[in-house]
């Protein structure tokens, strides 16, 4: 979810991933599929928006506007507390953040795909958890 300076080819990839993420959201809004996330998701998005505004990536005041829009498209949020023991276990096993492993634990519990643009997470867990799939491969 974070953005970093990138080469031209990486920017092209980011733009392509953004289009796929938007399509995934639009399909959710059109009842093509369901989306779920740990309750932490909303807080993470709010923090990303605040940091983008603070660092000048978006204009002052836009974080609140984007947050309002985001809340309208919010996926179903699941309580993170019951997922924490498994997220901790996964975090220790794969050396990934507990935050990221909350999403893995949720996908595992619900028997659904975890779609992510986090290549580091995919590389770490996909060999044993094939339900973790790349946004780029959709």
- Helices 40-54 and 98-110: crossing angle in degrees, nearest 10, is 140
Residue 115, beta-bridge partner list: 133
pLDDT tens for residues 8-54? 333 334 456 788 988 998 899 899 999 999 999 999 999 999 999 99
pLDDT of residue 9: 32
Integer-rounded Cα radius of gyration of the chain: 15
Confidence at residue 94, expressed as pLDDT on a 0 to 100 scale: 98
Domains of the chain (ranges; CATH) run 8-137 (3.40.50.1010)
Residue positions counted in the chain? 138
pLDDT at position 17: 77
d(CA 134, CA 117): 6
7: pLDDT strictly greater than 60 = no
Q: Do residues 114 and 132 touch, judged by C-beta distance below 8 A?
A: yes
Work out the angle between the directed axes of helices 98-110 and 84-94 (0-180°, nearest 10): 120
DSSP, collapsed to helix, strand or coil, labels residue 24 as helix
- Is the distance from CB of 24 to CB of 64 less than 8 angstroms? no
């Amino acid at each position: 979810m974070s953005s970093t300076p990138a080469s031209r080819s990486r920017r092209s990839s980011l733009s392509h991933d953004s289009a796929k993420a938007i399509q995934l959201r639009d399909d959710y809004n059109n009842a093509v599929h369901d989306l779920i996330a740990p309750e932490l998701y909303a807080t993470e998005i709010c923090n990303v928006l605040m940091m983008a505004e603070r660092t000048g990536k978006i204009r002052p005041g836009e974080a609140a506007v984007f947050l309002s829009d985001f809340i309208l498209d919010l996926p179903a949020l699941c309580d993170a507390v019951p997922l924490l023991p498994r997220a901790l276990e996964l975090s220790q096993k794969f050396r990934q953040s507990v935050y990221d492993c909350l999403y893995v634990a949720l996908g595992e519990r619900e028997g659904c795909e975890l779609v992510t643009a986090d290549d580091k997470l995919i590389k770490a867990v996909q060999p044993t958890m094939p339900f973790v799939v790349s946004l780029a491969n959709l």
